Structure 1
């Protein structure tokens, strides 16, 4: 590090340890100014980020907390060099006119993070000057712990009666004339692989076909539960099918008055939202998630276009996608723009439109 010629009279000091009365070498490396107040701004994690040094004359220097600056050494015969200066009064560290900790209601600049601690160094026994005080950052806030459904929650979901393939076969046998069910069950009965995204999609489609078209809530729940017990594995493609199945199961249970079971499905549905352990990322994800709930894609343009083109098949497909979106919103308890009662009404309208 290159210093000016007069650097022999200066000592390096970490920005976090600056105090009132220090003569700070300015960025032009030619002039010095006395510090009359030191303030520290914390980042979002509560750690010191910026040191604001107020200088004589009213100027303010912003310095990164970890930066090293040059401070003019006191003259040996000056009273400022006395050992008593090793201990830094709390009032001086905050600057003249600043509130004392007892008078201030805020712990930090952001009002929520813990404040900084000023560690004082007293003179040694031989009278030698002690090291200047340093600013000790607070301990970081512990990250949130992701919590999943408990064993009691899992107990509310009935175990499958037989193998997954037998559950699908039973649903198909209950509707021998339903072409959609037969096509899906024919593929699934050959073997269900929960690691296959296409297999999970077929299971979700079968559950929706049973409930939406055939009004068979019992078999729809049985098929959906083959997906509902699968944990989130970090793959958004596979999770989309599980998510749709959970939303459907939650709606069916609420229609049947099984509130506790519906809450379990909704807890499963929100599990990925609670897995982020980084507080900053968790806040950002929550904002993005809330925005998507407040502004859902309900395929209005696509449905109106299909109606204008007199294409009932396309209209039905778009309405099925809208129904899935509404069920997803309902499983989240609604949003800030669409409440639960309004969602119930819209879901009923879509079911009536799709069922014909």
Structure 2
């Protein structure tokens, strides 16, 4: 049921404090309607987000939880006397107010009739307006702030139990590199990388980490030396994620390679540790909203990986074997990364195994 809004008093009310029976001013600002039922829709964090007010005459109003609406005052009767001018008797002219004689003597003081007995009729009384209703705006309810969600624990680095599954390096990092170089004295790619690394290995240097990752891939992919490749890769695999995505790219590539080698050798527990390290940065975001967004973006990149198909086909069309090999090495790294994640929604693990085998065969010639 709607009511005209003329001469009505309204007070502001937060949408979250609306109740059944309130007369709500409709959005057209000309009518009011009684609320029959109030429903509250929460957001993903459990906080009130949308108020749905069902009206008596039919229809539903959707109001944001933080909005302020106008509600007719419950004591408002729709009319009130005017406060302008002096007190008057209803139906009496203003100039007669306050000067009405109570007897003929009052009208003619010198007339003999003034000594007559006063009129016994009922005296006229002044009717004063009723006190104005208290129209003070009720205090708005306090805003309820939901408690902060429990943040997932931040990953600080490999645990002792995880590191126990990775064999300790036999000597200094430089000695591990020298052992790999000594095992392949006729491999120019290995010798070039080892010469640079023999000067000193700095795990804070992005170029040094890249050389170690390239050396591990060169040993396994080209020379089929899984033992030395795994030993070199372990120099990177124990490094925790420090927030630098540039340096982490080399560690990530090394972890994916080590996981694949261990899977081939039947060391599933050790491979699982490498895969756990690889996914560690994914769980370091403490903000729940950002974590959900990052998870969606990450899953999309896994479902639609860049496997360099156009670049490889272009190199084949141009008969450029060197360029084709470089692009296939990048494709192999992408496939190893997907394999360490257990596949994706578009490429499962068995299909990845087949593709990785094909790429290894193509690169090794």
- TM-score under structure 1 length normalisation: 0.78
Classify the secondary structure of the residue corresponding to 1:35: strand
Output the CA distance in 1 between the equivalents of 2:6 and 2:162. Answer: 73
Q: Which residue matches 1:229?
A: 238
- Partner of residue 286 from structure 1, selected from 292, 295, 298: 295
Q: Which residue matches 2:70?
A: 70
Q: Which residue matches 2:320?
A: 311
Q: Which moved more, 1:300-309 or 1:323-332?
A: 300-309
- After superposition, the Cα gap between the structure-2 partners of 1:132 and 1:68, relative to the gap in structure 1 and judged at 3 Å, is closer
Output the CA distance in 1 between the equivalents of 2:241 and 2:341. Answer: 17
Instruction: Please provide the CA RMSD for this pair.
Output: 2.4
Decide whether the 8 Å contact of 1:44 with 1:280 is kept in 2: no
Structure 2: stretches of 5+ with no match in the other structure: 78-137
Q: Which residue matches 1:23?
A: 23
Decide whether the 8 Å contact of 1:16 with 1:134 is kept in 2: no
Shift of 1:224: 0.7
Output the CA distance in 2 between the equivalents of 1:72 and 1:188. Answer: 81
- Partner of residue 341 from structure 1, selected from 341, 346, 350: 350
Output the CA distance in 2 between the equivalents of 1:52 and 1:273. Answer: 38
Shift of 1:190: 1.1
- 1:134-188 CA distance string (max 9 Å, x none): 8967645423334564321111112222221221111111111110011111111
- Partner of residue 203 from structure 2, selected from 186, 194, 197: 194
Structure 1: stretches of 5+ with no match in the other structure: 78-129
- 2:167 matched to 1:150? no
- Partner of residue 335 from structure 2, selected from 326, 329, 332: 326
Decide whether the 8 Å contact of 1:149 with 1:264 is kept in 2: no
Decide whether the 8 Å contact of 1:16 with 1:135 is kept in 2: no
Output the CA distance in 2 between the equivalents of 1:132 and 1:296. Answer: 53
- TM-score under structure 2 length normalisation: 0.76
Q: Which residue matches 1:260?
A: 269
Decide whether the 8 Å contact of 2:343 with 2:349 is kept in 1: yes
Aligned length: 300
